[in-house]
Amino acid sequence: MKKLIIAGAVLVACMAGPAIAAELPVEPPVYVERPAAIGLWNWTGFYFGANLGYARGYASKDILVTQDPLFALTESANGVIGGVQAGASWQTGNGVFGIEGDIQGISKSGSSSMSAIDTNGVVTGVPGAIVTALTSDKISSIATLRGRIGVASGRALFYVTGGGAFFDWSSNLTVSGLGTVSLGHFQPGGALGGGVDFVITDAWSVRAEYLYLQSTLISDTPFSGRPDVVVNSRIRDNIFRIAVNYNFFTGSVGCRPHVC
């Protein structure tokens, strides 16, 4: 009898359970809105823009007579610099590789003078005579063609850059006993620097950049009838500039533009 009572109680409990559960209030499911997917910014594409900055540099000029140094002249020149640039970038992971060319207009000049004793009379023909040199230099424009390697971090791109530089350079030189000559060259050289780009909209970015430029050695024998007088010149420049670029982005990681 006890077994029958226990079996009956179990059966009643099993039948009552679903009924009680059916009577409990059922809450509607809660849907949580999924946030918009955020894509990784990608620098792959092309760009062009304009820049403005400040150039601080100097030109050195060594005058040798029969391979012996007579003068070592140095003049500093500072001025505002501005121009345009264009380039292309390719990104893989956080690494960004690119190439850029720019041309800059600049108006800066400098001058210096120096006196020396013509001990053996090789310049004036009078041993012990005082010889004076006066020089002025001007740079009208600078162009560069450089590679770029950078690391992308969000909307910022930190990079180093290096390549070739080209100077449109002219100079006047007067040496007592020899006369006055004009020198002019489209001189190659090198460029090295770095900076940071930052995207401010889907197409526009701003930049802060530093470049160090140096020409190759410029060697002249400018005085007619005196091939033994050699003038060696070199140009060095430090450029600080800001730039604005319009970008044609073509690559993406995740979504493009920045929000899916």
Kindly state whether residue 118 falls inside one of the protein's structural domains.
yes
What are the pLDDT digits (tens) for 124-169?
778 888 889 898 888 889 999 999 999 999 899 999 999 999 999 8
Kindly state whether residue 16 falls inside one of the protein's structural domains.
no
Cα–Cα distance for residue pair 116/130, rounded to 1 Å? 6
| Number of domains, the chain | 1
Tokens 């970015």 found at: 205
φ and ψ at residue 79, rounded to 5 degrees: 180, 170
Cα–Cα distance for residue pair 190/211, rounded to 1 Å? 10
**pLDDT at position 12:** 46
**pLDDT at position 76:** 86
What are the pLDDT digits (tens) for 193-224?
999 999 999 899 999 999 999 999 999 999 98
Tokens 């190759």 found at: 216
Neighbouring C-alpha atoms within 13 Å toward the C-beta of 226? 21
Cα–Cα distance for residue pair 228/144, rounded to 1 Å? 34
- 216 burial (CB, 10 Å; 0-12 / 13-18 / 19+) is middle
Which of 152, 165, 142 is closest to 45 using CA atoms?
A: 152
Amino acid at 65: V
**pLDDT at position 225:** 84
Kindly state whether residue 114 falls inside one of the protein's structural domains.
yes
**pLDDT at position 154:** 87
Kindly state whether residue 7 falls inside one of the protein's structural domains.
no
| CATH number of the domain within which 158 lies | 2.40.160.20
Kindly state whether residue 32 falls inside one of the protein's structural domains.
no
What residues make up the domain containing 107? 42-249
The beta strands (E) that lie in 178-228 are given as: 179-199, 204-215, 218-220
**pLDDT at position 80:** 92
Which of 144, 135, 143 is closest to 170 using CA atoms?
A: 135
Query: Both tokens of residue 108?
Result: 């800066």
Kindly state whether residue 4 falls inside one of the protein's structural domains.
no
Per-residue pLDDT of the chain (260 residues; tens, 9 = 90+): 545 445 554 444 555 555 544 455 556 666 555 444 344 678 999 999 999 999 998 888 898 888 888 888 888 888 899 999 999 999 999 999 999 999 999 877 778 888 888 777 778 778 888 889 898 888 889 999 999 999 999 899 999 999 999 999 888 999 988 889 998 888 999 999 999 999 999 899 999 999 999 999 999 999 988 899 999 999 999 999 999 999 998 865 444 444 33
The pTM of the whole model exceeds 0.85: no
- Alpha helices by DSSP H, listed for 24-150, are none
Tokens 């800066």 found at: 108
**pLDDT at position 156:** 96
Query: Both tokens of residue 227?
Result: 């091939």
Kindly state whether residue 50 falls inside one of the protein's structural domains.
yes
CA angle, 139 then 144 then 150, to 5°: 140
Kindly state whether residue 199 falls inside one of the protein's structural domains.
yes
Neighbouring C-alpha atoms within 13 Å toward the C-beta of 230? 11
- 98 burial (CB, 10 Å; 0-12 / 13-18 / 19+) is buried
**pLDDT at position 257:** 41
Q: Are 44 and 90 spatial neighbours (Cβ–Cβ below 8 Å)? A: yes
**pLDDT at position 15:** 53
